[in-house]
Homo-oligomer: A and B are copies of this chain.
Amino acid sequence: MNEKIPVRQVSLADQILEILIERIVNGVYPPGSKLSPENQLREEFNVSRSTIRTAVSRLEDRKLVHRQRGVGTYISRQPNISNPLNEFIEFPLLIKENGYKPGYQELSAEILVADEEILENLQLEPGDRVLKIRKIFTANDDPIIYVINHIPLWVFEDILTPEEAIQPGTTERFIEFFEVKCNQRISHFISTVKAEIFENIDAPPSLMNDGPYTPVLVINEIGYNGIDKPIVSSSEFHPDDWMTFKMMRRRGKV
């Protein structure tokens, strides 16, 4: 066992992280219980202590465990949060995880010259064109999210003609579109969050179930690839309370 087969596609630390997470969710380490000491895990997995520490530190980042110097590492009693607003997850997956049947509807897809705001958001030159897509996501066939995406032409012009790009569903699986087709890994989004009422936003009427004063959570964001270049500008509108977003707020500074 533990032969040195060069199957190191995934780092040792990540593999151990996966195993520990699995043990936690499966109740091998119940909430509140003590995780094996680092030296013991070191022997069990036959790796160095720093490799163990890397894995456990990631658990700690996610607040799945907390460490106490001189005492030990304990499994958190709080469950992993479900709808993390501060993580980027594809909506159909999110809707599914919330127990609804996900659906998707493309309202429009067009290639156009970016206006000033989009130019700035996406760091483009005047006259540059973008793909604009308007979508609605449904849960149990009820429309619950309205999204407008702007994607610069340079992101996909090597692999898609403009005509192909505006075919319905091209960007339905968002992450796949960017990562597999365009070879652009989405690193993170910088987002602004605010509350609005339906009356003040420009959304399709089908989204409005409860009148013009329905509260709407609005998220405007820019997505960046691994080398700091914006590759998508989005606006998301979440009317009502279909999904309550959760998140972990950490300490500012340090």
User: Which A residues contact B (CB, under 8 angstroms)?
Assistant: 14, 63, 66, 68, 74, 76-78, 81, 84-89, 186-197, 199-200, 213, 215-218, 221, 224, 226-228, 238, 241, 244-252, 254
Q: Are B252 and A89 in contact (CB-based, < 8 A)?
A: yes
Q: Is the interface of A mostly helix, strand, loop or mixed?
A: strand
A207 to chain B, nearest CB (A): 14
Q: Are B63 and A188 in contact (CB-based, < 8 A)?
A: yes
What would be 8 A-B contacts, judged by CB atoms less than 8 Å apart?
Answer: A88-B250, A188-B250, A191-B249, A193-B245, A196-B215, A197-B213, A215-B215, A221-B249
Q: Are B246 and A194 in contact (CB-based, < 8 A)?
A: no
Closest CB pairs A-B (n = 7): A195-B195, A195-B215, A87-B252, A189-B249, A195-B217, A89-B252, A86-B86
Q: How many copies of the shown chain assemble into the complex?
A: 2
Q: Are A254 and B14 in contact (CB-based, < 8 A)?
A: yes
When distances are taken between beta carbons in the complex, the residues of chain B under 8 Å from A188 are 63, 248-251
